[in-house]
Structure 1
Amino acid sequence: MKMLKNLKIFSTIILGLFFCFNSFSNKPGTDNSKPLVVVIDPGHGGKDPGAVNKSIREKDIVLGIGLKLGKHINENYPDVKVVYTRSTDIFVPLIERSRIANKNKADLFISLHANACGTPATRGTETFFLGPSRSDDNLEIAKKENSVILLEEDYKETYEGFDPNSAESYIMFEMMQNTYLDLSLFVADAIQQQFQSRIESPNRGVKQAGFLVLRQSSMPSVLVEAGFLSNNAEANHLNSAAGQQQIALSIFEAFKKFKNKNSGKTMNSLPEIASNKIQETPPQKSIIPEKQIPQIEEVAKPIIQEEKTKNEIIGDTTLKQKAPESSIIYSVQIGANTTPIDPVASNFKGVKNVRREKTDKYYRYYVGNENSLEKATLVLQQIKQKFPQAFIVSFVDGRRVPIN
Structure 2
Amino acid sequence: MHIKALATLIILFFSYTSVFSADDTKVKKIVLDAGHGGDKPGAIGHFSKEKDIALSVTLLVGDLIKKNLSDRQVIYTRTTDVDVHWVERHEIANRAKADLFVSIHVNSTPGTRTKVRSGYRTIKKNGKSVKVPRYVYKYDKATDANGTETYVLGLSRNSQKEESIGEYSDNLAGGEKEGLMDEKDPMTAIIIAQYSQAFLTSSVDLGTRIQGNFAKQGRLDRGVKQISVEVLAGCVMPGVLVEIGFINNVEEEKYMNSPQGQTEIAHAIYNGILEYIKAVEKR
Query: What's the % identity of the aligned pairs?
Result: 38
Asked whether the equivalents of residues 38 and 106 of structure 1 are also in contact (C-alpha less than 8 Å), the reply is yes
Asked whether the equivalents of residues 194 and 253 of structure 1 are also in contact (C-alpha less than 8 Å), the reply is yes
Asked whether the equivalents of residues 30 and 264 of structure 1 are also in contact (C-alpha less than 8 Å), the reply is no
DSSP-derived class of the 2:83 partner? coil
Change (3 A) 1:25 1:57: farther
Asked whether the equivalents of residues 97 and 214 of structure 1 are also in contact (C-alpha less than 8 Å), the reply is no
Alignment of 1:256-271 (within 5 A): 256-263=274-281, 265=283
Change (3 A) 1:230 1:103: same
- The one-letter code of the counterpart of 1:220 is P
DSSP-derived class of the 1:204 partner? strand
Decide which moves more: 76-85 or 202-211.
202-211
TM-score w.r.t. length of structure 1:
0.47
Asked whether the equivalents of residues 148 and 214 of structure 2 are also in contact (C-alpha less than 8 Å), the reply is yes
Q: Show structure 1 runs of 5+ residues with no match.
A: 1-21, 134-173, 266-404
Larger Rg: 2
Using the TM superposition, give the Cα deviation of residue 37 of structure 1 relative to its aligned residue in structure 2, in angstroms: 0.4
For the pair 1:255 / 2:247, whether they are aligned, the reply is: no
Asked whether the equivalents of residues 151 and 225 of structure 2 are also in contact (C-alpha less than 8 Å), the reply is yes
Where has structure 1 moved over 4 Å in runs of 4 or more? 22-27
For the pair 1:107 / 2:99, whether they are aligned, the reply is: yes
1:81 corresponds, among 58, 73, 77, to 73
Corresponding residue number in structure 1 for 2:23: 30
Alignment of 1:150-299 (within 5 A): 177-198=196-217, 200-263=218-281, 265=283
Using the TM superposition, give the Cα deviation of residue 30 of structure 1 relative to its aligned residue in structure 2, in angstroms: 3.4
Using the TM superposition, give the Cα deviation of residue 23 of structure 1 relative to its aligned residue in structure 2, in angstroms: 8.7
DSSP-derived class of the 1:97 partner? helix
Per-residue Cα deviation, 1:19-67 (whole angstroms, up to 9, x for no partner): xxx998688x9338x8610000000000111111133110010101000
For the pair 1:45 / 2:63, whether they are aligned, the reply is: no
DSSP-derived class of the 2:226 partner? strand
- The one-letter code of the counterpart of 1:205 is G
For the pair 1:121 / 2:144, whether they are aligned, the reply is: yes
- The one-letter code of the counterpart of 1:130 is L
- The one-letter code of the counterpart of 2:81 is D
Alignment of 1:293-312 (within 5 A): none
Report the count of equivalent residues: 201
Change (3 A) 1:124 1:264: closer
Q: Distance in 2 between matches of 1:35 and 1:251?
A: 16
Corresponding residue number in structure 2 for 1:61: 53
* Higher normalized helix content (fraction of residues): 2
Per-residue Cα deviation, 1:323-373 (whole angstroms, up to 9, x for no partner): xxxxxxxxxxxxxxxxxxxxxxxxxxxxxxxxxxxxxxxxxxxxxxxxxxx
Q: Distance in 1 between matches of 2:50 and 2:19?
A: 37
Using the TM superposition, give the Cα deviation of residue 233 of structure 1 relative to its aligned residue in structure 2, in angstroms: 0.5
Using the TM superposition, give the Cα deviation of residue 216 of structure 1 relative to its aligned residue in structure 2, in angstroms: 4.3
- RMSD of the TM alignment (CA)? 2.5
Change (3 A) 1:26 1:60: farther
Q: Distance in 1 between matches of 2:241 and 2:17?
A: 23
DSSP-derived class of the 2:211 partner? helix
Asked whether the equivalents of residues 148 and 244 of structure 2 are also in contact (C-alpha less than 8 Å), the reply is yes
Corresponding residue number in structure 1 for 2:165: none
Q: Distance in 2 between matches of 1:64 and 1:180?
A: 27
